[in-house]
């Protein structure tokens, strides 16, 4: 009789231990699930909060280094606009007016079908307190959509810029900058099925920014001698002497 009672008690204890183990396992799984969901929610907060007033998706691109002066890792640079537009699947347009004293720095392709042209002020200050400090830069981009022409390293929040939009003749025009003092950092707009963007590293007056926007024209309408707009600066030949003739002149008799 005692043996039967002992066996019954041992069986009851075993069942209890098994139950406890199942409860413990469920608790551990639940805690792991909670931790994963918390981690996922925290990871979403890593993305910079952008102004929801603008429908343009802005994604920081790690391959952009020092944009707009430096090139992208995957972009191809050309000597001038004429060369850059040869393989584009659309008729390219560029600004026919740029800030006084500016000239073309580079023309390049981004994401295969986005034309990017960068202008800078020649002779402008590039160093401040011993560090490279280039502010006199204007970048122009043209492509098929608003998202691609604004897919750059520029994040308005990091510049403490505001974003807003206004209704234009062909649709909404999107701005960033400091509207309280009438300064514009960038303008993005669409026209004729294409998208355009102007970016000023140093904000410009609103009236000036609008002027440059209104004077974006087909490349073929710009005189090829406007090197400051199109690039391909002519190379001045200093002498007709050959390399051998120079070497002979430098030889000591």
Q: Who contacts 75 (Cβ-Cβ below 8 Å, separation ≥6)?
A: 108, 109, 110, 116
Helix, strand, coil percentages for the chain (3-state, nearest 5): 30, 30, 35
Contact (Cβ atoms closer than 8 angstroms) between residue 144 and residue 113: yes
Is residue 178 within 8 Å of 195, Cβ to Cβ? no
Instruction: Dump pLDDT digits (tens) for 95-128.
Output: 999 999 999 988 999 888 999 999 998 877 665 5
Q: Which residue segment(s) compose the domain that 215 sits in?
A: 76-230
Indicate whether this model's pTM tops 0.75: no
Both tokens assigned to 220? 């073929």
Residue 88 in domain: yes
21 vs 172, higher pLDDT: 172
Q: Are strands 171-178 and 76-78 parallel, antiparallel or unpaired?
A: unpaired
**CA distances in angstroms from 28 to 19, 21, 24, 84, listed in the order given:** 14, 11, 6, 60
* Domain assignment present for 65: no
Over the stretch 32-75, which tens digit does the pLDDT of each residue have? 333 333 333 333 333 333 343 454 454 555 556 678 877 766 66
| pLDDT at site 228 | 92
Are residue 9 and residue 110 in the same domain, yes or no?
no
Task: Say if strands 114-121 and 137-143 run parallel, antiparallel, or are unpaired.
Answer: antiparallel
Q: Are residues 42 and 119 in the same domain?
A: no
208 within domain boundaries? yes
What value does the mean pLDDT of the chain take?
75
Question: Are residues 228 and 103 in contact, defined by beta-carbon separation less than 8 angstroms?
Answer: yes
- Structural domains counted in the chain: 2
Give the model's pLDDT for residue 19: 45
The confidence band for 6, taking pLDDT boundaries of 50, 70 and 90, is very low
Burial class (CB in 10 A: 0-12, 13-18, 19+), 57: exposed
**Residue 48 has what pLDDT?**
32
Peptide bond into 70 cis (omega under 30): no
Residue 141 and residue 35 in one domain: no
d(CA 174, CA 125): 30
> CB–CB of 98/250 below 8 Å?
no
170 vs 199, higher pLDDT: 199
| pLDDT at position 27 | 34
Does the pLDDT of residue 157 top 80, yes or no? yes
pLDDT score at 196: 98
User: Residue 171 has what pLDDT?
Assistant: 86
Same domain, 113 and 213: yes
Residue 247 covered by a domain: no
Query: Would residue 52 count as lying in a domain?
Result: no
Q: What is the residue whose two structure tokens read 């011993």?
A: 130
Tell me which of 69 and 94 has the higher pLDDT: 94
Question: Does residue 92 share a domain with residue 216?
Answer: yes
Q: Is residue 28 part of a domain?
A: yes
**Highest mean pLDDT: which range of 103-112, 145-154, 196-205:** 196-205
Whole-number pLDDT of residue 68: 86
Q: Where are the alpha helices (DSSP H) in 72-156?
A: 81-84, 146-149
Tokens of 101: 């004293």
Q: Long-range contacts for 180-183 (Cβ within 8 Å, ≥24 apart)?
A: 182/206, 182/207
The single residue listed with the structure tokens 């070497």 is: 247
pLDDT of 222 strictly over 80: yes
Specify if 54 maps to a domain.
no
Q: How confident is the model at residue 235 (pLDDT cuts 50, 70, 90)?
A: low
**Any domain includes 237:** no
pLDDT of residue 78: 84
């Amino acid at each position: 009789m005692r043996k039967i009672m002992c066996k019954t008690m041992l069986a009851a204890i075993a069942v209890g231990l098994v139950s406890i183990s199942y409860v413990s396992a469920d608790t551990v799984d639940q805690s792991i699930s909670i931790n994963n969901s918390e981690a996922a929610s925290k990871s979403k907060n890593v993305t910079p909060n952008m102004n929801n007033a603008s429908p343009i998706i802005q994604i920081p691109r790690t391959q952009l280094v020092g944009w707009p002066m430096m090139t992208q890792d995957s972009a191809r640079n050309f000597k001038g606009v004429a060369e850059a537009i040869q393989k584009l699947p659309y008729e390219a347009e560029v600004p026919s007016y740029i800030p006084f004293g500016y000239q073309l720095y580079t023309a390049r392709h981004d994401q295969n079908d986005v034309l990017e042209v960068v202008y800078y002020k020649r002779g402008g200050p590039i160093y401040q307190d011993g560090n490279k400090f280039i502010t006199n830069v204007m970048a122009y981009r043209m492509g098929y959509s608003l998202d691609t022409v604004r897919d750059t390293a520029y994040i308005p929040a990091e510049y403490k810029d505001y974003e807003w939009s206004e209704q234009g003749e062909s649709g909404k025009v999107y701005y960033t900058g400091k509207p309280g003092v009438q300064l514009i950092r960038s303008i993005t707009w669409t026209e004729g099925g294409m998208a355009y963007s102007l970016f000023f590293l140093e904000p410009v007056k609103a009236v000036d920014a609008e002027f440059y926007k209104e004077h974006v024209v087909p490349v073929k309408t710009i005189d090829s001698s406007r090197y400051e707009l199109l690039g391909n600066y002519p190379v001045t030949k200093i002498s007709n002497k050959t390399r051998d003739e120079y070497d002979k002149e430098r030889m000591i008799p």
